[in-house]
Structure 1
Amino acid sequence: MGDIVDMMLEGTLCQGCGVFLNEDAPGIPCSCRECRAEEKKAKAAAYQPPKPKVQCSACGRKVKPTGLPDHMRDAHKELT
């Protein structure tokens, strides 16, 4: 590979933007402070809280909304 890519993989340069990090590379890819902050913001923006569970009308058990048809089929032998 190229020299720049090698330095990014060694940790001499930031793996995101290519800015110089330090001369003593740790041997693993690293990110600069700004890139880590951007990664953290992107991860927080992508987070979706879990959907609330719904109650089964037949037995009262709480299940995920997407799993209710499977629960009805498996536990109550009902086809939905």
Structure 2
Amino acid sequence: MGDVSDMMLDGTLCQGCGVFLNEDAPGFPCSCRNCTAEEKKAKAAAYQPPKPKAKCTVCGRKVKPTGLPDHMRDAHKVPA
């Protein structure tokens, strides 16, 4: 590989933007403060809370909404 990519892989340069981090490289890829903050923001924006479960009208069991027809068919013999 090239010198820049080697320095990113050993931690001399930031793995995201390539800014100089430290002369004494830790031996693994690292990020600068700006890239770390951006990564945290991206993870927070991508988070989607779990969808609420649907309650079976016969037994009251909570199942995923997409699995409710299968539950009705398998547990209660109701045709889908």
Q: TM-score normalised to the size of structure 2?
A: 0.91
Amino acid at match of 2:18: G
Q: TM-score normalised to the size of structure 1?
A: 0.91
Q: How far apart are the structure 2 equivalents of 1:73 and 1:12? A: 59
Q: How far apart are the structure 2 equivalents of 1:76 and 1:58? A: 8
Structure-2 residue corresponding to 1:24: 24
What do you get for the CA RMSD once the two structures are aligned? Answer: 1.1
State the identity as a percent.
84
What do residues 22-80 of structure 1 show as CA deviations (whole Å, max 9, x unaligned)?
01111110000000000000000000011111101121101111221222232223332
Amino acid at match of 1:27: G
Q: How far apart are the structure 2 equivalents of 1:77 and 1:26? A: 61
Unaligned runs of 5+ in 1: none
Assess, with a 3 A threshold, how the Cα gap between structure 1 residues 10 and 59 changes in structure 2: closer, same or farther: same
Structure-2 residue corresponding to 1:66: 66
Structure-1 residue corresponding to 2:49: 49
- Number of matched pairs: 80
Structure-1 residue corresponding to 2:39: 39
